[in-house]
Amino acid sequence: MTGTAPQQQHRHQESVEGGVALTALLVAAARAIETHRDDSLAQDPYAEHFVRAAPVCAHWPVRIQQVPDGDDDPLWGRFARYFGLRTRVLDDFVLRAVHTGARQLVLLGAGLDTRAYRLDLPGDCVVYEIDQTEVLAFKHRVLADLGAASKAQRVTVGVDLRADWAGALSEAGFDSAAPSVWLAEGLLFYLPGQAETYLVDTVHRFTTRGSAFAYEAKVEKDLLAYRDSRIYTATRERIGIDLLHLFDGGPRPDSAADLTARGWSTTVHTPFDLTRRHGRGPLPEPNDALEGNRWVFAHRPRP
């Protein structure tokens, strides 16, 4: 849920404070909480400024000390830990790809991602941020007010992911013949299965050997079975985001298997695998809305 994501056509018009776009602010609040933890896994000094700049969420906590139950809180404790862990894992993924030669980073559904500003990226790295125009404009306004300067070259591509985002990316200067690293962080949950297949097909067509791709997927056959989970209930009742209403409930493709069949080296992990690796993050619990989440890491091997 880092970025905004495509939905049914009747939900097309959204501001940053409504619908799927609001989930970008939820993740920003989580990253702010993670940033201020004593045992932080990831640092995003810009995250709390996004939260405070949007009236709909200006009252949300940005430090765990502001949460009465701390990490026992299902929303600002456990769920925020999940997003903090995800941020760290994908930060590491990007940096490894860049250190092995990738100089293009594509953020699909970029939302309020600030990797161009906060990661130690080389100056010749280009970060392409694809998202709806109003979300990118909100981010630009907040960062400009802070006087923030990106460490890498940053190119925004204001286009709905239901439109010809691939064409827009090419027009923005993306070079499909050069190695690249792609993130779809918290995006595919919201896409119909056929749109996920198109996105993965497009990433394959737009990448060359030496490229990398990381994304999240869900494997539950019945999302509604988790409607009463602590995380979904707290998110729905306390901040008005009904994730199950926003997620697409149709059949999911096995995109990891498709990439493997096309020659990618692909690994799939549960979030709990990475919790155990890093020593922090969510662990399984009864009726767990996170148990169907999968983090997929794919590489196109060099010759």
Give me the domain span that covers residue 267.
9-299
pTM over 0.75: yes
Which is more confidently placed, 83 or 3?
83
CATH code, domain carrying 256: 3.40.50.150
Domain assignment present for 1: no
Say how far apart CA 28 and CA 69 lie, in whole Å.
20
Domain assignment present for 174: yes
pLDDT tens digits, residue range 113-157? Answer: 999 999 999 999 999 999 999 999 999 999 999 999 999 999 999
- Closest C-alpha among 226, 116, 242 to residue 181: 116
Domain count, the chain: 1
Q: What is the 3-state secondary structure (H, E, C) of the chain?
A: CCCCCCCCHHHCCCCCCCCCHHHHHHHHHHHHHHHCCCCCCCCCCCHHHHHHHCHHHCCCCCCHHHCCCHHHCHHHHHHHHHHHHHHHHHHHHHHHHHHCCCCEEEEECCCCCCHHHHCCCCCCCEEEEEECHHHHHHHHHHHHHHCCCCCCEEEEEECCCCCCHHHHHHHCCCCCCCCCEEEECCCHHHCCHHHHHHHHHHHHHCCCCCCEEEEEEECCCCHHHHCCCHHHHHHHHHHCCCHHHHCCCCCCCCHHHHHHHCCCEEEEECHHHHHHHHCCCCCCCCCCCCCCEEEEEEECCCC
Cβ burial of 295 (10 Å; 0-12, 13-18, 19+) is buried
Mean pLDDT of the chain: 93
**Mean pLDDT to the nearest integer, 178-195:** 94
**Mean pLDDT to the nearest integer, 260-273:** 98
Other beta carbons within 10 Å of 292: 17
Whether residue 10 is predicted with pLDDT greater than 70 in this model: the reply is: no
Q: What is the CA radius of gyration of the chain?
A: 18
Q: What percent of the chain has pLDDT over 70?
A: 93
Domain assignment present for 80: yes
Q: Would you state the pLDDT for residue 19? A: 65
pLDDT tens digits, residue range 193-233? Answer: 998 999 999 999 999 999 999 999 999 889 999 999 999 99
Domain assignment present for 182: yes
**Mean pLDDT to the nearest integer, 55-77:** 97
CB 39 within 8 A of CB 31: no
Q: Would you state the pLDDT for residue 9? A: 30
Domain assignment present for 285: yes
Q: Would you state the pLDDT for residue 17? A: 65
**Mean pLDDT to the nearest integer, 73-96:** 98
Whether residue 5 is predicted with pLDDT greater than 60 in this model: the reply is: no
Q: Would you state the pLDDT for residue 21? A: 83
**Band of pLDDT at residue 163, cut at 50, 70 and 90:** confident
What lies within 8 Å, CB to CB, of 19 at 6+ separation is 7, 11, 246
Q: Would you state the pLDDT for residue 7? A: 35
Domain assignment present for 4: no
Q: What percent of the chain has pLDDT over 90?
A: 88
What is the bridge-based pairing of β-strands 265-269 and 181-184? unpaired
